Structure 1
Amino acid sequence: MKKGIIKKTVMLGLGLLLATGMVGCSNGKDDQKAADTGNKKEVVIGLDNTFVPMGFLNDKNELEGFDVDLANEAFKRAGYTVKFQNIDWSMKEQSLNNGNVDCLWNGYSITEERKAKVNFSKPYFDNKQIAVTMAKESPTKLGDLKDQIVGTQAASSALEAIEANKEFIGMIKDKKPVTYDTYDKALRDLEIGRIKAVVGDEVLLKYYISQRGADKYKVLEGDLGSEEYGVGFRKKDTELRDALDKALDDMKADGTFDQIKKKWFNQ
Structure 2
Amino acid sequence: MKVTESTSHYDNLDEMSVQDLLENINKEDHRVPEAVKLVIPTISSLVEEIVPRMELGGRLIYIGAGTSGRLGILDASECPPTYGVPHDWVLGLIAGGDSAIRKAVENAEDDPTQAWVDIQEYGFNSNDTIIGIAASGTTPYVIGGVKKAKLEGLLTGCITCNPDSPLSKEVEHAIEVVVGPEFVTGSTRMKAGTAQKLVLNMISTTVMIKLGRVKGNKMVDMQLSNAKLVDRGTRMIMEATGLDEETAKKFLLSEGSVRKATEYYYKNK
Q: TM-score range by the shorter chain?
A: under 0.3
Query: Which structure is larger by alpha-carbon Rg, 1 or 2?
Result: 1
Higher relative contact order (CA 8 A, sep 6+): 1
Structure with the larger strand share: 1
